[in-house]
Chain A
């Protein structure tokens, strides 16, 4: 097996948050060159942004004849102006390159990390125990991990880092410049602005929660819509359309309310942010103007102060966002770590032995089984064996454990008591992949991938069209497929055509046959196929799979007519 199945010795005590931090730091370390460049570019962006604002202030000072830094004074007035101007142009152009710079270094890592996080999800989930996928990591949770958790978690690998450095540098430079102009005024303005991060953090959290609620309501609405569209024909015939329209309307209205709440929360940034700078303007005016009139601050400096306060507002608001973002990101990464560290099904990682040369395909000795949440045994003390090329029938009422028995005999369910050996060895002596090439299983409920008919049969095997047709012939689906305009290339699923229940069952049968196994389990897999076609299929299989061993589960006695042995289970 090409993948390593790492198993922590005791997953229960593992600290997921620690793991999330570890992964994050490891990622940062292994990409340290890119991140260093990123820091450099964020730094230069911040510097240049402040410099441009400062230069505009100096230009104004020059016009009002206020003193400038010595460096700018030239031979003539015009010369001085020229120097100021050239600096302004250069600073502005370099700013452009700096901005491009951090986007193609640090910010880019957001997407690189998100791909890695996504790859890791399936890399681990594919080996989870079936029981865990039903009980703990349900589809909803894993889908959510793949979308929301990755979407939020990825930011601390890139954009959030940009924001942190930007806030730090811009904040410090702005503050530094302001202090160099007038320290007392700076401190007073800063005190007023410091309330901003607090409010922004709160608001951002609220906004996030409300958007999530809105998104969940939207999900319900979309599910309902799919359901309504897929059943529209029956609604028309039974005249229940109005009822469903009303249901959809109610769902749409509840989504509207939730979304409106979320958008209104976003709009609260207008008074929050605006309030911050209006307040600091007020302070600047009423404390600063007397300084200007006294001559402590030049007019140009005063105008620059106003601009700088405007600039300082951004990093301070950013601080609020970052605090809330940081928490959310790590919570998401923590949830992802739970997936990455979760225990995998041990039998999927086993090393395997070769096959023994034996005629007994399956040997069952006093087999008993009960469900993880059940109290009584579903299967009690069962013993029998099958030899190569034989056909075994299993029948019995609903709930008598037919499907469970088949899952055990095919080596999928391994939590049982007693002994089951396949070709002379217990299942655990074989590697998972090897075993699966030997044992085929066609379940009751057909599952097809949203792909073409051809790809659904080929899967990982390299079959040409001729072979694909052969297996379709065997399962009596070839005639149906020939009638589709696109033949083997006919797409299935939501965006393709809908096969009937019987057609789906026959296609899953063809897919199993295409794997050319030695032992097949057919778990009531022709229940929706009409009896005439069923008979043709049974005949085909019986004739063409002479040396293979077949196990049939069915209600209808007609399905079991070719069996050598019949196992009748009682409930």
Chain B
């Protein structure tokens, strides 16, 4: 069992490792305030909604008082007209109370949901402005959770619980004031008698929170297990793991069951106990009232009024006790979202954005003794020095982790370099506007990102580009031919992730996309790996055509793809160890020669 437990911890490391957040921790209140800023544009609407809810509580209390008067002045005095008058008032105030409550909560929900949308917008923008280094250090799942689940936590509170909580709070407050005004001493005693209930809720709050968190943890763990087994059913079948998978699955169901039964056990006694504690004052009132009425110190009317006040005071308190964990959850979520928004953006990490955005770039690149470390200690680039002339085709080779990918990433200003400088057309890379710089660089990697939409949308997200231009680019790369073969048009639909296209087709699309963008510098990161022989020819042709007139950097494992390069750079352990044309390097019998030999041997 301990083995099973241990295996499961990392899956949800995020929810348990509160420690990780502590470093960035803003206090609950501070984060809440921070998020409240997003509500500012809707301030007046929210205040109006809240006022309606206050009015609702007020009228509901007035209706209770009218009921008391109905008994005292109408029924006990046997006056039909007075009775009818008061009953009319009871009904009018009840209706008023309901109407205000309904409309007030609708308003509040509407504006809250807009506030949540603003928070989401801020998060989306933040995602685009966080430095790439941030994404390297955080598991993807955690970032997704911040943007989805945690915001849902806040949303759940603001759009549904908050209305109930505020309503209950107003009710309780009004009832309290009414009791104090009607009879200060008796009212005071009743108000104080609510403390045992509050104390109980306060004491158990952490435990309740833990139990609830456990519920959602075991739930999502079970769901991901099933999803995993369904995706991996082939593997299960191949290895005959049907029984093993059942044991695994059942152990997750066991945890799910235990957590639900624990929660059930907890609520089994806490809910009735809170109800009992909340009704205790009413019983006290009967005792106190009874003794006083018998001695004539209290009127029956006052007693009836107080019984009704008590209901209106303690029922909301019970609701509050039930909702308290939603409030807690909302605070935790708010804290996480606020901390996430507090992470430094690119402008802080990479320094202020440059101003340079010239028309007509040449595309000459110069690395002057560039040193780079991801963690400010271990340098992964150690004094890289090279010059690339405009329009040159450069191949980058070397084993995994040699620094070729880092070199390329620096060009797009994804990371900061610590020493030396990189010049583009003679100007420091830092003086360029980052978005302009990235516009100038075309990038094709092993897998293209495709989304559900037409070919047109996937090729060019900018709608102002005319169809002619898109079609022309398709002809140049050969995508047009492939589209004709598959009888696709620009309006044909591509499925999520390009599921209806082959690897070769996706790659061709990515190349066409780059051609339309018309960048000064082209980077190909293993762009022709993983493609079947038929497509390889088409892709190579497309690459040749897209490369014309641009400075090109090609990262490649298979050295045979580097035939068209003017020069080849060989990287090893963060240094540029060799450079020259393919034939020069082959003659030199150095690093490149060795790499080449190793591959020749197997092919």
Contacts and interface: CB of A to CB of B under 8 A. Distances in A.
A60 B125 CA distance: 64
B98 A275 contact: yes
Nearest to A1: B243
A452 B289 CA distance: 68
Contact of B14 (A118, A440, A495, A528): A495
Contact of A410 (B238, B264, B276): B238
Contacts of A97: 272
B139 A555 contact: no
A127 B461 contact: no
Given A100-B272, A278-B91, A233 B238 contact: no
Interface in B464-501: 497
A435 B530 contact: no
Contacts of B80: 289-290, 293
B301 to A, nearest CB: 10
A530 B152 CA distance: 44
Interface stretch (A87-95, A169-177, A368-376, A541-549): A87-95
Interface string B269-280: 101110110010
B342 interface: no
Contact of A270 (B98, B140, B142, B155): B98
A303 B438 contact: no
How many interface residues does chain B have, given as a range? 35 or more
A535 B598 CA distance: 10
B10 A460 contact: no
A63 B268 contact: no
Contact of A452 (B7, B601, B602): B7
B498 to A, nearest CB: 12
Contact of B264 (A108, A237, A440, A556): A108
Contact of A143 (B12, B227, B250, B599): B227
Contact of B109 (A122, A229, A267): A267
Interface in A196-239: 218, 221-222, 225-239
Interface stretch (B69-77, B172-180, B377-385): B69-77
B389 interface: no
A270 B300 contact: no
B313 interface: no
Contacts of B244: 459-460
A264 interface: yes
Interface in B116-175: 116-117, 120-121, 124-125, 127-128, 132, 135, 139-144, 147-148, 152, 155, 159-160, 163
Nearest to B408: A237
Contacts of A71: none
Nearest to B227: A143
B307 A56 contact: yes
B287 interface: yes
A243 B105 contact: no
A508 B238 CA distance: 12
Contact of B412 (A126, A236, A285): A236
B10 A491 contact: yes
Contact of A114 (B236, B239, B246, B260): B260
Q: Name the residue among A286, A432, A495 with the largest chain B CB count within 10 angstroms.
A: A495
A393 interface: no
Contacts of B148: 221-222, 225
A470 to B, nearest CB: 18
Interface stretch (A160-168, A247-255, A313-321): A247-255
Contacts of A107: 264, 268
A519 interface: no
A495 B71 contact: no
A226 B558 contact: no
Nearest to B220: A147
Interface stretch (A30-38, A355-363, A442-450): A442-450
A555 B449 CA distance: 26
B233 interface: yes
A259 B106 CA distance: 13
Interface in B454-469: 461
A447 B234 contact: yes
Contacts of B279: 92
Contacts of B135: 229, 232-233
Contacts of A19: none
B237 A130 contact: yes
B234 A443 contact: yes
A298 to B, nearest CB: 10
B271 A85 contact: no
Nearest to A534: B602
A63 B226 CA distance: 64
A9 interface: no
How many interface residues does chain A have, given as a range? 35 or more
B140 A130 contact: no
A122 B91 contact: no
B85 to A, nearest CB: 11
Interface in A387-416: 397-398, 410, 412
A348 B245 CA distance: 15
Contact of A267 (B14, B102, B557): B102
A100 B273 CA distance: 9
Contacts of B84: 285-286, 289
Q: Is the interface of A mostly helix, strand, loop or mixed?
A: helix
Given A88-B283, A348-B242, A531-B599, A96 B294 contact: no
Interface stretch (B27-35, B362-370, B439-447, B543-551): B439-447
Contacts of B139: 494-496
Nearest to B448: A234
Interface string A473-505: 000000000000000000100111010010000
B414 interface: yes
A378 B257 CA distance: 48
Contact of A285 (B91, B449, B601): B91
A3 interface: yes
Contacts of A286: 84, 87
A293 B83 contact: yes
Contact of B275 (A84, A96, A235, A281): A96
B304 interface: yes
Given A240-B461, A286-B84, A494-B140, A59 B223 contact: no
Q: Name the residue among A84, A127, A264 with the largest chain B CB count within 10 angstroms.
A: A264
A115 B257 contact: yes
Given A103-B271, A443-B238, A528-B530, A111 B260 contact: yes
Contacts of A558: 602-603
Interface in A1-58: 1-3, 56
B226 A142 contact: yes
B585 to A, nearest CB: 18
A109 B238 CA distance: 37
A103 B268 contact: yes
B224 A450 contact: yes
B253 interface: yes
A289 B290 CA distance: 26
Contact of A495 (B10, B147, B232, B461): B10
Given A252-B120, A532-B599, A293 B75 contact: yes
27 contacts: A60-B300, A93-B276, A103-B264, A110-B264, A115-B256, A122-B249, A127-B242, A130-B237, A139-B231, A226-B140, A232-B127, A232-B128, A240-B461, A248-B120, A249-B120, A249-B121, A256-B114, A263-B159, A263-B160, A264-B109, A266-B160, A293-B80, A302-B75, A436-B240, A450-B11, A494-B140, A528-B529
Interface of B: 7, 10-14, 67, 71, 74-76, 78, 80, 83-84, 87, 90-91, 94-95, 98-99, 101-102, 105-106, 109-110, 113-114, 116-117, 120-121, 124-125, 127-128, 132, 135, 139-144, 147-148, 152, 155, 159-160, 163, 222-224, 226-246, 249-250, 253-254, 256-257, 260-261, 264-265, 267-269, 271-273, 275-276, 279, 283, 286-287, 289-290, 293-294, 300, 303-304, 307, 412, 414, 435, 438-439, 441-443, 445-446, 449, 451, 461, 497, 517, 529-530, 532-534, 557-558, 598-599, 601-603
Given A97-B272, A110-B264, 5 more contacts: A104-B268, A281-B90, A289-B87, A450-B228, A528-B529
